[in-house]
Structure 1
Amino acid sequence: MWFGTLVIVISCCFSTLYTEENIPIVVTTWKFINSTVKAWEVLKEGGEALDAIELGASVCEKQQCDGTVGYGGSPDENGETTLDALIMNGKTMNVGAVGALRGIKDAISVARHVLEHTKHSFLVGELATQFAVEMGFHRETLVTPQSKEMWKKWFNEDHCQPNFWMNVKPDPRKSCGPYSKQSSKKYDEDIEGHMKVDRYNHDTIGMVAIDKNGDVAAGTSTNGAKFKIPGRIGDSPIPGSGAYADNTVGGAAATGDGDIMLRFLPSFLAVEEMRRGSSPTSAARVAVERIVAYYPDFMGAVVALSKVGKHGAACHGITSFPYVVHDTTQESYKVIEVKCS
């Protein structure tokens, strides 16, 4: 009798193990289908998660996905497009990132070079461009006729509205700069506001992948917020904010109002919640709710992926948030739509 019970328990445990594991797998924020398909092609051929992230995000950079990724989108106040990107290796916990990258289209690949060819984690601005050129990347303009027209309309017709200035003169709600700081120490919260998040202003592609070996990688790429103050870096290239990966747990990626989200490291928090035993959906919800407690009007989302291939997401401030999944359980990708709080 005891022997029979023991056999049943063992059989149950092995069955549960194989049923739950769902790797390789890739998840991608928003409806960036082409990037997801490219990443999956790498994984299904036995490739590494890091390669899947780099090549998948590169597709969006080249295709200028929704105008929020890659060259020619989201010009800053000066009309220039700059790029941010991050790639993280969950096996080694190593990170490569670039911020405010100028004149180089392949931001995620430059971030990969930071990871693999330096002892640093983060390079920024013109000197990040210098590094990229030394690594063999080609310098070229990131401005396009479309981004020029976008900037001209904002500057001439919309009188520099909206913008990201506060507590300066002249009043940034009514006119363009140059600005100077107000002599008053009063903090004007009315000017702060939040970034509008929708299909064409969500700021980033975030990806998490697990390969056949169980290695986790995560990455992001973005051209940042429209009409940002030059030099601004949002959440996307910040490890633990834009994305995070840990082989022992899984990974996560965030998207939305980056200036708010980076203050809470939502991707790191989601991974830590999964470490504590939460499901990916619950973990993403905790990360989002942490931000909402301080900024109830913020707009954004977090997608989480456990090391065994379970996934989920949570969002706030928008009607719904889509993310794309490709894994061994289906012949094609699947778009999952999450209702937001």
Structure 2
Amino acid sequence: MILVTNNEGTKGAPITAQLLARGTSALDAVEAGVRGVESDPGVRTVGKGGWPNLIGEIELDAAIMDGDTLRTGSVGALKGFAHPISVARAVLERLPHEMLVGEGAARFAAEIGAEQDDNLLPDTMDPWKAWFSRELSPEEQDAFPGIALAEHCRAAIDPEKPMGTTVFLALDGRGSIAGGVSTAGWAFKYPGRLGDSPVIGAGMYADSAYGAAACTGAGEMAIRTSAARSAVLYMKMGMTIREALDEVVRDLARLKGGLVDRITLHAVSRTGEHRVLAVNAPKPWFYWLWDGEGAPRWTEAERAASR
């Protein structure tokens, strides 16, 4: 058994580890761990207390994948609900679809009785209010939100630059692998922006026959390279987990233009190996690892460059 989750997974890691130790399925354990992070107001990039978009609303993305069946559930730009990971799980279990976004995702969440919450906190709205007062002209403020936002999006400064997400990858005692991701996305993003988290194969992919991978950081990079699916495919082709992530870094290095920034690759194999590689990280990077014994432990990631 193994669990890998990124630094934002602090509150959820013990939950998932304890469930796996009791024999709970990887899928159930991953969902429970991600919910723990979504409820933590101290994590600014996931769930409660996440950073708002340019018009001061919190839009949440999440996805979950069952590595045994390759069924997925994904929601994007979901507003007004506390646990997008559980709404995504319900998509997997209750619908013939794999992804819902925007108003459709919110409609489905209400239909299943998902817990409602606007997720806004005063201390996460204060930076947005400061941006609004500082960057918009009096005329723009009067007309807001009916103004052009594209240039403001380009100029916005994320209060927490790492553009975080939480990712959970787990292998249970039966050999089943599952993955889950949840995020509030990039602070002050253009409304409706989807990063890699809800895009299956970009931000996360799980296949019990080979392994799983998930990404945090600049999701646009993961989308352009299908980073998570690529990592699993490289393992399917016979590469070791180390070779697979090195190949993904080479894919990332080919990107020209657009957003090229920090991205962290997390992976586990069907045999219980793991690797976490912080690409373009400006400082040491850490994650949580549980390998079937004791409590999850704080572990330093490897670092690499794609530029």
Letter in 2 for 1:241: A
What TM-score comes out, normalization by structure 1 length?
Answer: 0.80
Q: Give unmatched runs, 5+ long, in structure 2.
A: none
Distance in 2 between residues matched to 1:295 and 1:57, nearest whole Å: 33
Tell me what 2:271 maps to.
308
The range that moved more, 102-111 or 69-78, is 69-78
Instruction: Pick closer, same or farther for the CA change 1:317–1:275 going to 2, 3 Å.
Output: same
Tell me what 1:137 maps to.
114
Distance in 2 between residues matched to 1:34 and 1:46, nearest whole Å: 20
- Percent of counterpart pairs with the same letter? 34
Deviation at 1:263, TM superposition (A): 1.3
Q: Is this contact kept in 2: 1:197–1:256, CA < 8 A? A: no
Of residues 154, 158, 168, the one that matches 2:131 is 154
Instruction: Pick closer, same or farther for the CA change 1:289–1:134 going to 2, 3 Å.
Output: same
Deviation at 1:154, TM superposition (A): 1.6
Letter in 2 for 1:336: T
Listed as ranges, the matches of 1:82-121 within 5 Å are: 82-121=59-98
Instruction: Pick closer, same or farther for the CA change 1:64–1:289 going to 2, 3 Å.
Output: farther
Of residues 292, 295, 302, the one that matches 1:332 is 295
Deviation at 1:31, TM superposition (A): 5.1
The yes-or-no answer on 1:236 pairing with 2:192 is no
Deviation at 1:289, TM superposition (A): 2.5
Tell me what 1:17 maps to.
none
Of residues 172, 177, 200, the one that matches 1:216 is 177
Letter in 1 for 2:254: A
Q: Give unmatched runs, 5+ long, in structure 1.
A: 1-23, 161-169, 171-175, 183-190
Instruction: Pick closer, same or farther for the CA change 1:93–1:194 going to 2, 3 Å.
Output: farther
- Name the SS of the counterpart of 2:189 in structure 1: coil
- Name the SS of the counterpart of 1:303 in structure 2: strand
Tell me what 2:284 maps to.
320
Deviations 1:198-242 (A, max 9, x none): 7x6332111111111101100100001110111111101111111
Distance in 2 between residues matched to 1:216 and 1:274, nearest whole Å: 14
Distance in 2 between residues matched to 1:103 and 1:43, nearest whole Å: 30
Deviations 1:27-70 (A, max 9, x none): 11225232111111110000000011100000100003530111
Q: Is this contact kept in 2: 1:221–1:236, CA < 8 A? A: yes
Deviations 1:138-166 (A, max 9, x none): 33322221222121012213x16xxxxxx
Deviations 1:11-39 (A, max 9, x none): xxxxxxxxxxxxx1111122523211111
Distance in 1 between residues matched to 2:149 and 2:16, nearest whole Å: 46
- Name the SS of the counterpart of 1:263 in structure 2: helix
- Name the SS of the counterpart of 2:39 in structure 1: helix
Letter in 2 for 1:26: L
Q: Is this contact kept in 2: 1:288–1:315, CA < 8 A? A: no
Deviations 1:249-284 (A, max 9, x none): 010110111123211110101111111222223312
Letter in 2 for 1:322: F
Letter in 2 for 1:291: L
- Name the SS of the counterpart of 1:313 in structure 2: strand
Distance in 2 between residues matched to 1:270 and 1:109, nearest whole Å: 26
Letter in 2 for 1:300: I
The structure with the largest alpha-carbon Rg is 1
Q: Is this contact kept in 2: 1:194–1:298, CA < 8 A? A: no
Of residues 255, 264, 267, the one that matches 2:228 is 267
Listed as ranges, the matches of 1:36-51 within 5 Å are: 36-51=13-28
Q: Is this contact kept in 2: 1:320–1:340, CA < 8 A? A: no
Aligned residue pairs total: 293
The CA RMSD over aligned residues, in Å, is 2.5
The range that moved more, 93-102 or 273-282, is 273-282
Q: Is this contact kept in 2: 1:27–1:305, CA < 8 A? A: yes
The range that moved more, 68-77 or 87-96, is 68-77
The range that moved more, 27-36 or 214-223, is 27-36
Tell me what 1:185 maps to.
none
Tell me what 2:58 maps to.
81
Of residues 2, 5, 9, the one that matches 1:32 is 9
Q: Is this contact kept in 2: 1:33–1:333, CA < 8 A? A: no
Instruction: Pick closer, same or farther for the CA change 1:64–1:243 going to 2, 3 Å.
Output: farther
Distance in 1 between residues matched to 2:109 and 2:299, nearest whole Å: 36
The range that moved more, 260-269 or 89-98, is 260-269
Deviation at 1:298, TM superposition (A): 2.3
Letter in 1 for 2:304: C
Q: Is this contact kept in 1: 2:2–2:172, CA < 8 A? A: yes
